[in-house]
A and B are shown apart, each in its own frame.
Chain A
């Protein structure tokens, strides 16, 4: 394919928690479920550890979207910290909106350790949504994130 006809491959940074959502991703992997390879996952101990700075740095550094993922409400390993993540997510969305970053570029996903399939499906769905939004191309010098996405399936 030529440069022009190549579909836009969004770069998405995903923050997962150690106890639920990262294990969901792990389950998706061990079960060989297929999902879009555009998300680079970063594991935190808890979604409550998510400092909004991480999200802003991701956008400033070239990410097209950010995924925040944690345990379902009521299931947090640290009892209530995912509610904190929820509140930060809702406030961040408002601020990003004022900055001209569409709310569709920030997604919150609850996934338990058993929900590998849900995690995989939601990521594929999110990638398609961001693809429609197009590249963000944030005009700042920040951390450089390689734009090229791995296209080949890697054998486990």
Chain B
């Protein structure tokens, strides 16, 4: 009997998710033993036409990472959806937009200008990419940018979500074990739409720091201050996103004296990640006077960036007015 087929793809992402998969060490041999890897651009040579030639549903498991930045991303997302039985939004970019989704704060023009004119770019002729260009040999094309970055489930139907930037290796290992067990009839897959490879609670629940009553008089940036190693960071005025973030990472950042920045996405039941954080942060401010509250809020230098660093494209508002206008 031939082995079930496995595919992995990257759309708008950094490649960290691919590294995270390889980072499961010798477990990767189990993946190879259980699956026939048919399409994985970062690891092997396969062409889009190979995927197009497959039967619908021929791929058993597709781990799809990256957001929908251009029409090529969307095309491959739709293609792999058709060819795959189980489509997993793998990593924060596919689930909720992640760092590439931060471009949804700017107009597409500003985004392109930043990429092609700022100091780190050598572009003396001030050239911009165009999606179609006439050459003597014929028209050449590159993918067209979407004005707003979309999440995978805003384009295709997704079976499971696996959050994290990137997903932790022990979580990937657990998911690989589960899928292999399910293929052998030894385990049940969770219900469609479930979040896999993560906890059902918040980062705070896994955080070893001591918690008391949270009341704060100022927000402080962690790089400009020294923190108590035992006490909850938010209680010390450090804007830590743990309260709204899904558990599953073993509270790595707060354990290492860095605030949670929210890469595991919204906790179970949270509709809008940023809204939940606004609620939480506003609740701990120890003041009833509008003037003083405003002064305390000045300590949060970039609130939207703080609350939507990973989640802008997947939030209720999805993109700023500038990005929406294109």
Whether the Cβ atoms of A91 and B290 lie closer than 8 Å is: no
Q: Is the CB of B315 within 8 A of A56?
A: yes
Asked whether, in the complex, the Cβ of A95 is within 8 Å of the Cβ of B274, the reply is yes
Contact yes or no, A95 B303, CB < 8 A:
yes
Q: Does B283 contact A (CB under 8 A)?
A: yes
Q: Cα distance A98–B308 when bound, in Å?
A: 11
* Residues A95 and B278 in contact in the complex (CB < 8 Å), given A86-B293, A87-B285: yes
Q: In this assembly, does B276 line the interface, its C-beta being within 8 Å of a C-beta of chain A? A: yes
Establish whether residues A94 and B283, one from each chain, have CB atoms under 8 Å apart when the complex forms. Answer: no
Interface status of B279 (Cβ within 8 A of chain A): yes
Tell me the B308-326 residues at the A interface (CB within 8 Å).
315-322, 324
Q: Mark B265-277, 1 if CB is under 8 A from A, else 0.
A: 0000001101110
Taking CB atoms, residues of chain B closer than 8 Å to A140 are 316-318
List A residues 39-76 near B (Cβ within 8 Å).
51-53, 55-57, 59-60, 73
Q: Output the least CB separation between A70 and chain B (Å).
A: 13
Contact size range, B? 20 to 34
Residues of B within 8 A of A87 (CB): 282-283, 285, 287, 293
Task: Fill in one digit per residue for B33-50: 1 if any A CB lies within 8 Å of its CB, else 0.
Answer: 000000000000000000
A99 to B304, Cβ gap below 8 A? yes
Answer whether residue B178 sits at the interface, using C-beta atoms and an 8 A cutoff. Answer: no
Chain A residue numbers with a CB within 8 Å of B279 are: 51-53, 88
Complex CA gap A55/B272 in Å reads: 11
Contact A91 B283, beta carbon cutoff 8 Å? no
Could you tell me the distance between the alpha carbons of A101 and B304 in the complex, rounded to whole angstroms?
A: 12
**Shortest Cβ distance from A47 into chain B, in angstroms?**
12
The residue on A at minimum CB distance from B306 is: A95
Which of B304, B305, B316, B321 is the most central at the interface, judged by chain A CB atoms within 10 Å of its CB?
A: B316
What's the interface size class on A, roughly? 20 to 34
Asked whether A139 lies within 8 Å of B324 as measured between CB atoms, the reply is yes
Query: A98–B271 contact, CB under 8 A?
Result: no
The answer to whether A56 touches B275, judged by C-beta atoms less than 8 angstroms apart, is: yes
Chain A residues whose C-beta falls within 8 Å of the C-beta of B290 in the assembled complex: 86, 90
Could you tell me if A53 and B316 are in contact, using CB atoms closer than 8 angstroms? yes
> CA separation between A140 and B317, bound complex, in Å?
7
A78 contacts B by Cβ under 8 Å = no
B282 adjacent to A91 (CB under 8 Å): yes
Chain B: minimal CB distance from A2 (Å):
27
A80 in contact with B288 (CB, 8 Å): yes
* A80 (CB) vs chain B CBs: closest residue: B288
* Nearest-Cβ distance from residue A134 to partner chain B, whole angstroms: 12
**Chain B residues whose C-beta falls within 8 Å of the C-beta of A92 in the assembled complex:** 278
| Cα of A26 to Cα of B215 in the assembled complex, Å | 36
In the complex, what distance in Å separates the CA atom of A117 from the CA atom of B3? 74
Q: Give the A-binding residues of B (Cβ under 8 A).
A: 105, 271-272, 274-276, 278-279, 281-283, 285, 287-288, 290, 293-294, 297, 300, 302-305, 307, 315-322, 324
